[in-house]
């Protein structure tokens, strides 16, 4: 059906062919069609000659509508010798035009020549046209182990609104296996190349359909949708995230699946399956990841050198015809590799399309997320595309980040050119987010401090509040009493120590001096104790503990008295120089009482301490 | 808790048990009442809001205990209240009156309740709870509960794997809880006792045991640290004062004073634990201690020698450190490794088996959104989440019949299975097969459960049909029913072509039936290591065409097709 329509169309074109519209003549056309992948590239070298009376600056290129629908990329550049590498290709501007009095079914593109072509002069240039979906699988459904055959249709003659003097065509197919091809006069097959021509002096719009049916087992990887998100962080990173929705666009798989064939004869069978994809990432790409909706995919390899980073990824399963998959790859690039500054504005210079090789993209959406606070945004792109702006709210954003969205359909690797996004950005805005965080945490702490110090009780005169406050005072007083008693006990210990010294050295005077000093200390302490006790007695909320405190004080006094008595008896005994045993006997009784009292005092102290 | 897990019934029974224990041991207080009564009322209301629980919160016997205790606590609270109002004499009279009347009423109510409960076949308990109370219940009546590996009783190694040193600390912690026994510690004791029992019934209730074990062993460790640090503190401060005491002793202190000191300490000693005889002797020498050591004085009765306490403290810390290391290791190796991505270490490094996700990703991207996938219920949630496709049965096992239907289909011959699946509107059938790489938990090993569960609902599936002399085998000795069932066919379809013999690495045998064709299913996808195989149901039209082709030579071709459609309408499970 498709073939017949195409043939019919080509014939109608040739029937309708009207005389050349201008005086240009194509003196030589050399076309080379590369069918080596699923992307069809037609590279033609045209030699234009001006045979008319006027200077001409535009040359029309014609493509039949069916082809023009699939035309992804068209570029005209001055002809160069083959040996030279295409480094600085200056492409000429190309526009779609609809000249009048032209046969229907043909789309025209007009190439503006760098200089007007004067009368009689000639000019040679190259045209590269890249088509997607120009190869039709035939048969449309193949088994898993079958080879994939595709069909390509074109015209043997160069379709042109001008008279073509000499032309030739060569088709390059990937393999020497050619199922069938249209034989015209002067058709030659050399290995994997089919040659038509040369044909001479053909009128404008002459065409002769040819069909080539050949084996093409290269995977037809097509990204139905690719969303690239490029996020710039002025802290030193450009993060690229690419979401792919991939389909195998070749012949549909039919029949039973079997794991045996792909496994047993890895290289031979299931040949058209997409097993892996290769992406050429920019050099110094880091933190590369490869995952999908259900997690990391572990089948990938990354190799890198100073020129490029090569990422080889395998989908979770080998993709046969018509199968789909979706995945995400992401990587970071150092900021200085893609962000530059000129005339007070910054610009991002990064490739537009996917880094995958030989991938056709149906719809590409590129989102450039600029940092918050950027302004004066403009895009410079090498070709036309839809563009608009969005905002994206990310972490710690207030007004959201500006997002430049670019959309383009039907892309081929040739589209992977650099584009620029210009914007203005104040370096100080970088500090906004950290400052926000710092101040937020700071204010939180301040709030905490204020809360801890503020008295949040509702009424200052409620009974419970007052009772609480009084209780606090009582507690402080009790704490002081406790301290004083402890100090008293410490002085008691001193007395005891002096006694021990006495028993060892027998120096009565020193012992007496110690006694005097402790007496003084104890008097002071009891003075300190008095106001506290009166306070406690007067305070109503101290009633429960008052008895205990009083008991403690009384016990302490008793203990002190006993201790003093013991001390004096010991000192007296020493003064009288009585025997050690005698002294001990006299003290023993007192000592017993002292220990008991001491025990009680300790217990009371502990009790009070627990309040 | 109710939202997250059905295990909430454990808590809802544990708390009433604790309350009851408190009441029986005379620890009733208004605190207990305030804590418990609102919990029951609010808890039941909130639980009833959870869809899967709903009215079960008041209907099933699992919740009965809490209500019973709720009534009891009210009665007890009332009694205490009356006791407060009335004089003791009046109270006695009232008690006799109320008890006699109350007993009669209670008997009547209890009789009615028992009759009600006994009228239901499972005594009002759900199968899960019954299988807890009676470990043999599930294997007798509900194969679906018994089939889950985490419902099996755990082995001893799994205890040591999961709770490690805690296994030794738990008994110590229980002892520590008893001295002294408070309301809180009695709860802990109850908690650990019940959870140990439950974890013994089902391995997955190790989850319940874990916090209880942590709490009790924490108590044990805390007590141990208390003792050791206390004795170290005492020994250190004691050492400084020792020199003074020793010096004083030579001259001033007498034998009498020493005996006195012992006397004063005697009552204290009897109250405390009795430490070793040696340490007691040591302590007596500190009769005259400075008052600042008042606190340490009490502790010294428990004091251990300095060196031994330091060493045991270090050992305890070391034990804890090892436990942390073990926990990290267990969390990393046993619990963090996703069972969906398997790894194996071989001499040439780590090998990843990512077959499950491969299959799910394939289903996700290469099948229609409305397609339904049938697989054994283990893979239900995974398929739903990862493949984003509707499944027939999933890990929610409330609907037993559905699972039995799939089990029946898997254990039926191809035709019958096709009809069952077709009636369920299934497009793809997913089986897990580990025979190529030796993945033991595959569908062939689970197959007997499918037979049992299917047979539980559809009696024409009989387990003995699949067993040869009571043995489950898939080699040439296997029964024809086994070799013709769908699960066998889907698992081993074209398996023989991999190595020429069809050697199953899980079962360690060659398979029984090696060469066969599928008529109603076609292979749609098989993962890299053959671990997941997905089959597509052939559309019914193909089947009829095949039939008519055969019968084309015959004249009765027209009559055969309505017959076919007639048989199709009949219930496929009969």
Nearest C-alpha of chain B: how many angstroms from A558? 16
Which of B386, B527, B528 has its CB closest to that of A294? B386
- What is the tens place of the pLDDT at every residue in B350-406? 888 889 999 999 999 999 999 999 999 889 999 999 999 999 998 877 778 889 999
Which of A292, A503, A598 has its CB closest to that of B291? A598
- What is the tens place of the pLDDT at every residue in B332-364? 877 777 778 888 877 777 888 889 999 999 999
Phi, psi of A447 (to 5 degrees): -60, -40
Instruction: Say if residue B193 is in the same domain as residue B222.
Output: yes
> Rounded distance, CA A355 to CA A311, Å?
9
CB pair distance less than 8 Å for B254 and A599: no
Instruction: Say if residue A303 is in the same domain as residue A379.
Output: yes
Instruction: Say if residue A210 is in the same domain as residue A306.
Output: no
- What is the tens place of the pLDDT at every residue in A176-208? 788 888 888 788 888 888 888 788 888 888 888
CB pair distance less than 8 Å for A486 and B261: no
Domain assignment of residue A45, yes or no = yes
CB pair distance less than 8 Å for A584 and B248: no
Mean per-residue pLDDT of chain A: 83
Domain assignment of residue B317, yes or no = yes
Residue with more model confidence, A415 or B549: A415
The pLDDT, as a whole number, for residue B68 is 86
**Interface pTM, i.e. ipTM:** 0.74
Q: Please compute the mean of the pLDDT values over residues B470-490 and round it to a whole number.
A: 90
Copy the structure tokens of residue B156.
Answer: 């001893």
Nearest C-alpha of chain A: how many angstroms from B452? 32
Q: What percent of chain B has pLDDT over 90?
A: 22
Q: Please check the confidence at residue A371 and state whether its pLDDT lies above 70.
A: yes
* Domain end marker among A431, A448, A477: A431
Mean per-residue pLDDT of chain B: 78
Instruction: Say if residue B159 is in the same domain as residue B114.
Output: no
The pLDDT, as a whole number, for residue B543 is 52
Least confident of B203-207, B280-284, B412-416: B280-284
Domain assignment of residue A9, yes or no = no
- Residue A256 with chain B: CB contacts under 8 Å: 522-524
Residues of B at the A interface (Cβ-Cβ below 8 Å)?
247-248, 251-252, 254, 256-257, 260-261, 264, 287-288, 290-291, 294-295, 297, 341, 352, 354, 357-358, 360-362, 364-366, 385-386, 494, 497-498, 522-528, 530
The pLDDT, as a whole number, for residue B240 is 56
Domain assignment of residue A436, yes or no = no
Q: Please check the confidence at residue B570 and state whether its pLDDT lies above 70.
A: no
Q: Please compute the mean of the pLDDT values over residues A153-158 and round it to a whole number.
A: 88
Q: Please check the confidence at residue B297 and state whether its pLDDT lies above 60.
A: no
Domain assignment of residue A84, yes or no = yes
Instruction: Say if residue A237 is in the same domain as residue A293.
Output: yes
Instruction: Say if residue A198 is in the same domain as residue A87.
Output: yes
* Domain end marker among A410, A431, A452: A431
Domain assignment of residue A145, yes or no = yes
Instruction: Say if residue A226 is in the same domain as residue A187.
Output: no
Instruction: Say if residue B170 is in the same domain as residue B30.
Output: no
User: Quick one: which H or E segment has residue A193?
Assistant: strand A193-202
> Rounded distance, CA A564 to CA A572, Å?
12
Instruction: Say if residue A228 is in the same domain as residue A164.
Output: no
The pLDDT, as a whole number, for residue B389 is 93
Instruction: Say if residue A118 is in the same domain as residue A102.
Output: yes
Binned at pLDDT 50, 70 and 90, residue A494 comes out as confident
Residue with more model confidence, A607 or B518: B518
Instruction: Say if residue B530 is in the same domain as residue B453.
Output: yes
Instruction: Say if residue A493 is in the same domain as residue A418.
Output: no
Q: Please compute the mean of the pLDDT values over residues B424-449 and round it to a whole number.
A: 91
| Number of residues in chain B | 574
Which residues is A150 bridged to in the sheet? A137, A214
The pLDDT, as a whole number, for residue A611 is 67
Q: Please check the confidence at residue B567 and state whether its pLDDT lies above 70.
A: no
Check residue B334 and report its DSSP letter: I
The pLDDT, as a whole number, for residue A223 is 93
Host domain of residue B320: 129-240+303-336
Residue with more model confidence, B292 or A541: A541
Domain assignment of residue B220, yes or no = yes
- Residue B252 with chain A: CB contacts under 8 Å: 499-500, 503, 584
Q: What percent of chain A has pLDDT over 70?
A: 90
Instruction: Say if residue B111 is in the same domain as residue B142.
Output: no
Q: Please check the confidence at residue B218 and state whether its pLDDT lies above 50.
A: yes
* Domain end marker among B125, B141, B172: B125
Most confident among A7-11, A331-335, A532-536 (mean pLDDT): A331-335
Instruction: Say if residue A191 is in the same domain as residue A286.
Output: no
Domain assignment of residue B73, yes or no = yes
The pLDDT, as a whole number, for residue B561 is 41
Q: Please compute the mean of the pLDDT values over residues A116-135 and round it to a whole number.
A: 86
Domain assignment of residue A447, yes or no = no
- What is the tens place of the pLDDT at every residue in A92-111? 777 777 777 677 788 888 88
The pLDDT, as a whole number, for residue B280 is 40
Residue with more model confidence, B277 or B135: B135
Instruction: Say if residue A40 is in the same domain as residue A163.
Output: yes
- Residue B261 with chain A: CB contacts under 8 Å: 595
Q: Please check the confidence at residue A14 and state whether its pLDDT lies above 60.
A: no
For chain A, what is the domain count?
Answer: 3
Instruction: Say if residue B378 is in the same domain as residue B311.
Output: no
Q: Please check the confidence at residue A368 and state whether its pLDDT lies above 70.
A: yes
> Rounded distance, CA A329 to CA A322, Å?
22
Which of A257, A486, A493 has its CB closest to that of B525? A257
The pLDDT, as a whole number, for residue B204 is 81
CB pair distance less than 8 Å for B252 and A584: yes
Least confident of A314-328, A470-484, B473-487, B523-537: A470-484
Domain assignment of residue A592, yes or no = yes
Domain assignment of residue A450, yes or no = no
Nearest C-alpha of chain B: how many angstroms from A588? 7
Which of B254, B297, B523 has its CB closest to that of A257? B523
Q: What is the chain A residue with the closest CA to B257?
A: A588
> Rounded distance, CA A206 to CA A10, Å?
9
Which of B294, B360, B494 has its CB closest to that of A602? B294
> Rounded distance, CA B179 to CA B176, Å?
6
Nearest C-alpha of chain B: how many angstroms from A602? 7
> Rounded distance, CA A124 to CA A29, Å?
10
Q: How many CA atoms lie within 13 A of A115 on its CB side?
A: 8
> Rounded distance, CA B472 to CA B475, Å?
10
> Rounded distance, CA A140 to CA A85, Å?
39
Q: Measured between alpha carbons, how far is residue A331 from residues A56, A412, A418, B303 in Å? A: 49, 22, 18, 64
How many beta-carbon pairs under 8 angstroms link A with B?
A: 92
- Residue A255 with chain B: CB contacts under 8 Å: 522
Q: What is the chain A residue with the closest CA to B528?
A: A259
Three-class SS of residue B551?
Answer: helix
For chain B, what is the domain count?
Answer: 3
> Rounded distance, CA A419 to CA A387, Å?
13
Three-class SS of residue A79?
Answer: coil
Instruction: Say if residue B528 is in the same domain as residue B433.
Output: yes
Instruction: Say if residue B69 is in the same domain as residue B99.
Output: yes
The pLDDT, as a whole number, for residue A81 is 55
Host domain of residue A203: 20-215
Phi, psi of A519 (to 5 degrees): -55, -50
Nearest C-alpha of chain A: how many angstroms from B473? 26
Beta pairing class for A40-50 and A122-131: antiparallel
Residue with more model confidence, B270 or A156: A156
Check residue B331 and report its DSSP letter: I
Q: Please check the confidence at residue A269 and state whether its pLDDT lies above 70.
A: no
On the 0-12 / 13-18 / 19+ scale of CB atoms within 10 A, B472 is middle
Which of B294, B360, B497 has its CB closest to that of A294? B360
Q: Please check the confidence at residue A454 and state whether its pLDDT lies above 80.
A: yes
Instruction: Say if residue A511 is in the same domain as residue A368.
Output: no
**Quick one: CA dihedral B335, B337, B339, B340, positive or negative?**
positive
Q: What is the chain B residue with the closest CA to A262?
A: B528
Residue with more model confidence, B69 or A52: B69
Q: What is the chain B residue with the closest CA to A498?
A: B248
Least confident of A434-438, B86-90, B432-436, B570-574: B570-574
What's B512's domain CATH number?
Answer: 3.40.50.12610
Name the residue with tokens 């890990």.
Answer: B395
Which residues is A240 bridged to in the sheet? A230, A331
Instruction: Say if residue A332 is in the same domain as residue A417.
Output: yes
Nearest C-alpha of chain A: how many angstroms from B548? 21
| Number of residues in chain A | 611
Domain assignment of residue B44, yes or no = yes
What dihedral angle (degrees, nearest 10) is formed by the CA atoms of B72, B77, B78, B79?
90
Q: Please check the confidence at residue B281 and state whether its pLDDT lies above 50.
A: no
Q: How many CA atoms lie within 13 A of A69 on its CB side?
A: 5
> Rounded distance, CA A555 to CA A559, Å?
6
Are A216 and A150 in contact by the 8 Å Cβ rule? The answer is yes
Residue with more model confidence, B346 or B541: B346
Binned at pLDDT 50, 70 and 90, residue A441 comes out as very high
Instruction: Say if residue B164 is in the same domain as residue B109.
Output: no
Q: Please check the confidence at residue B156 and state whether its pLDDT lies above 60.
A: yes
Domain assignment of residue B267, yes or no = no
The pLDDT, as a whole number, for residue B367 is 93
- What is the tens place of the pLDDT at every residue in A197-236? 788 888 888 888 899 999 888 888 999 999 999 999 998 8
Binned at pLDDT 50, 70 and 90, residue A298 comes out as confident
What's A363's domain CATH number?
Answer: 2.60.40.1730
CB pair distance less than 8 Å for A324 and B257: no
CA B366 centroid distance within chain: 37
Residue with more model confidence, B278 or A447: A447
What's A167's domain CATH number?
Answer: 2.60.40
Domain assignment of residue B18, yes or no = yes
Closest Cα to residue A349, out of A379, A371, A372, A377? A379
Nearest C-alpha of chain B: how many angstroms from A84? 45
Q: Please check the confidence at residue B562 and state whether its pLDDT lies above 60.
A: no
- Residue B295 with chain A: CB contacts under 8 Å: 606
Domain assignment of residue B425, yes or no = yes
Instruction: Say if residue B102 is in the same domain as residue B138.
Output: no
Are B444 and B490 in contact by the 8 Å Cβ rule? The answer is no
Instruction: Say if residue B208 is in the same domain as residue B314.
Output: yes
- Residue A556 with chain B: CB contacts under 8 Å: none
Q: Measured between alpha carbons, how far is residue B211 from residues A8, A287, B1, B205, B549 in Å? A: 81, 40, 15, 11, 68
CB pair distance less than 8 Å for A316 and B354: yes
Q: Please check the confidence at residue B259 and state whether its pLDDT lies above 50.
A: no
- What is the tens place of the pLDDT at every residue in B302-327? 567 888 888 988 999 999 899 999 99
Q: Please check the confidence at residue B277 and state whether its pLDDT lies above 60.
A: no
Which of A503, A588, A596 has its CB closest to that of B264? A596
**Quick one: CA dihedral A43, A49, A53, A54, positive or negative?**
positive
On the 0-12 / 13-18 / 19+ scale of CB atoms within 10 A, B383 is buried
Instruction: Say if residue B521 is in the same domain as residue B430.
Output: yes
Domain assignment of residue B413, yes or no = yes
- What is the tens place of the pLDDT at every residue in A60-99? 888 888 888 888 888 888 876 554 444 445 677 777 777 7
> Rounded distance, CA B225 to CA B208, Å?
26
Q: Where are the alpha helices (DSSP H) in A265-340?
A: 335-338
């Amino acid at each position: 059906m498709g073939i017949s329509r195409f043939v019919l169309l080509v014939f109608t074109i040739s029937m309708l062919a009207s005389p050349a519209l201008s005086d240009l003549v194509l003196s030589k056309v050399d076309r080379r069609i590369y069918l080596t992948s699923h992307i069809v590239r037609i590279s033609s070298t045209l030699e234009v000659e001006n045979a008319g009376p006027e200077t001409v600056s535009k040359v029309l290129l014609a493509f039949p509508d069916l082809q023009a629908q699939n035309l992804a990329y068209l570029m005209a550049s001055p002809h160069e010798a083959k040996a030279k590498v295409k480094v600085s290709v200056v492409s000429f501007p190309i526009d779609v035009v609809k000249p009048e009095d032209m046969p229907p079914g043909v789309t025209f593109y007009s190439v503006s020549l760098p200089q007007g072509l004067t009368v009689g002069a000639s000019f040679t240039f190259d045209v590269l046209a890249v088509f997607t979906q120009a190869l039709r699988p035939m048969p449309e459904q193949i088994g898993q182990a079958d080879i994939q055959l595709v069909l390509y249709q074109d015209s043997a003659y160069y379709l042109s609104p001008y008279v073509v003097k000499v032309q030739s065509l060569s088709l390059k197919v990937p393999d020497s296996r050619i199922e069938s091809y249209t034989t015209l006069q002067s058709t030659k097959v050399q290995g994997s190349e089919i040659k038509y021509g040369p044909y001479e002096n053909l009128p404008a719009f002459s065409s002769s359909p040819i069909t080539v049916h050949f084996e093409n087992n290269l995977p037809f990887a097509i990204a139905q949708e690719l969303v690239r998100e490029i996020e710039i962080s002025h802290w030193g990173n450009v993060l690229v995230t690419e979401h792919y929705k991939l389909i195998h666009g070749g012949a549909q798989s039919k029949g039973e699946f079997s794991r045996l064939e792909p496994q047993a004869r890895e290289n031979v069978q299931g040949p058209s399956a997409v097993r892996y994809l290769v992406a050429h990432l920019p050099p110094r790409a880091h933190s590369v990841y490869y995952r999908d909706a259900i997690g990391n995919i572990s089948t990938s390899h990354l190799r890198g050198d100073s020129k490029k980073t090569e990422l080889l990824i395998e989908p979770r399963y080998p993709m046969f015809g018509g199968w789909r998959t979706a995945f995400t790859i992401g990587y970071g690039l150092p900021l200085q590799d893609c962000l530059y500054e000129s005339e007070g504005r910054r610009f991002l210079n990064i490739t537009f399309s996917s880094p995958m090789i030989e991938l056709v993209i149906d719809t590409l959406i590129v989102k450039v997320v600029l940092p918050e606070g950027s302004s004066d945004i403009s895009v410079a792109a090498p070709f036309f595309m839809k563009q608009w702006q969005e905002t994206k709210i990310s972490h710690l954003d207030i007004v959201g980040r500006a997002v430049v969205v670019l959309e383009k359909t039907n892309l081929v690797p040739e589209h992977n050119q650099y584009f620029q996004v210009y914007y203005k950005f104040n370096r100080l805005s970088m500090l906004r987010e950290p400052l926000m965080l710092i101040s937020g945490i700071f204010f939180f702490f301040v709030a905490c401090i204020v809360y801890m110090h503020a008295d949040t009780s509702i009424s200052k005169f409620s009974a419970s509040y007052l009772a609480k406050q009084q209780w606090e005072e009582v507690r402080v007083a009790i704490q002081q009493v406790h301290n004083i008693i402890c100090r008293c006990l410490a002085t008691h210990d001193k007395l005891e120590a002096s006694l021990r010294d006495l028993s060892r050295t027998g120096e009565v005077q020193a012992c007496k001096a110690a006694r005097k000093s402790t007496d003084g200390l104890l008097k002071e302490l009891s003075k300190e104790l008095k106001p506290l006790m009166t306070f406690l007695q007067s305070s109503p909320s101290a009633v429960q503990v008052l008895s205990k405190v009083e008991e403690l004080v009384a016990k302490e006094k008793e203990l002190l008295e006993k201790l003093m008595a013991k001390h004096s008896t010991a000192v007296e005994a020493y003064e009288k120089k009585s025997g050690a045993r005698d002294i001990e006997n006299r003290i023993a009784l007192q000592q017993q009482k002292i220990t008991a009292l001491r025990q009680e005092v300790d217990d009371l102290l502990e009790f009070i301490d627990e309040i | 808790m109710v939202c997250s897990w059905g295990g909430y019934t454990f808590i809802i029974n544990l708390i009433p048990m604790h309350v009851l224990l408190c009441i029986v041991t005379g620890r009733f207080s208004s605190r207990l009442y305030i804590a418990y009564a609102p919990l029951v009322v609010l808890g039941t209301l909130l639980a009833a809001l959870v869809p899967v629980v709903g009215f079960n919160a008041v209907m099933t016997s699992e919740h009965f205990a809490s209500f019973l205790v709720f009534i009891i606590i009210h009665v007890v609270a009332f009694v205490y209240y009356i006791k407060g109002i009335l004089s003791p004499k009046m109270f006695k009279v009232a008690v006799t009156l109320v008890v006699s009347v109350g007993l009669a009423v209670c008997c009547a109510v209890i009789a009615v309740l028992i009759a009600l409960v006994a009228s239901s076949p499972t005594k009002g308990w759900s199968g899960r709870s019954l299988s807890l109370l009676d470990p043999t219940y599930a294997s007798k009546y509900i194969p679906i509960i018994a089939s889950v590996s985490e419902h099996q009783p755990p082995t001893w190694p799994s205890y040591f794997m999961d709770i490690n040193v805690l296994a030794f600390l738990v008994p110590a912690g229980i002892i520590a809880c008893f001295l002294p026994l408070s309301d809180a510690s009695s709860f802990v004791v109850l908690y650990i006792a019940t959870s140990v029992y439950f974890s013994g019934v089902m391995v997955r209730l190790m989850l319940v045991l874990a916090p209880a074990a942590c709490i009790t062993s924490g108590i044990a460790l805390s007590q141990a640290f208390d003792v050791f640090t206390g004795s170290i503190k005492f020994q250190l401060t004691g050492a400084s004062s020792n020199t003074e005491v020793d010096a004083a002793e030579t001259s001033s202190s007498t034998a009498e004073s020493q005996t006195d000191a012992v006397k004063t300490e005697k009552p204290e000693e009897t109250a405390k634990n009795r430490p070793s005889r040696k340490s007691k002797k040591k302590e007596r020498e500190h009769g005259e201690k400075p008052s600042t050591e008042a606190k340490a004085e009490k502790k010294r009765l428990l004091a251990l020698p300095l060196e031994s306490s330091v060493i045991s403290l270090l050992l305890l810390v070391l034990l804890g450190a090892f436990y942390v290391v073990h926990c990290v290791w267990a969390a990393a190796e046993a619990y963090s490794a996703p069972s969906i991505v398997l790894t194996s270490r071989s001499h040439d490094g780590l090998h990843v088996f990512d077959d499950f996700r491969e299959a799910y990703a394939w289903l996700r991207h290469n099948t229609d959104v409305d397609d339904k996938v049938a697989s054994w219920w283990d893979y239900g949630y995974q398929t739903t989440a990862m493949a984003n496709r509707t499944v027939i049965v999933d890990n929610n096992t409330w609907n037993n019949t559905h699972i039995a239907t799939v089990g029946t289909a898997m254990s039926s011959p191809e035709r019958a299975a096709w009809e069952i699946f077709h009636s369920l509107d299934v497009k793809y059938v997913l089986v897990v097969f580990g025979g190529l790489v030796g993945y033991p938990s595959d569908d062939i090993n689970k197959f007997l459960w499918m037979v049992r569960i299917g047979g539980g609902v559809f009696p024409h599936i009989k387990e003995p049909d699949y067993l040869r002399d009571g043995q489950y085998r898939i080699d040439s000795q296997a029964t024809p029913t086994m070799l013709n069932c769908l699960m066998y066919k889907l698992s081993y379809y074209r398996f023989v072509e991999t190595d020429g013999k069809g050697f199953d690495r899980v079962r360690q045998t060659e398979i029984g039936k090696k060469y066969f064709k599928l008529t109603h299913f076609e292979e749609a996808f098989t993962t890299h290591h053959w671990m997941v195989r997905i089959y597509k149901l052939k559309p019914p039209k193909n089947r009829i065409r095949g039939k008519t082709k055969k019968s084309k030579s015959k004249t009765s071709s027209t009559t055969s097709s309505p017959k076919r459609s007639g048989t199709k309408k009949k219930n496929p499970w009969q």
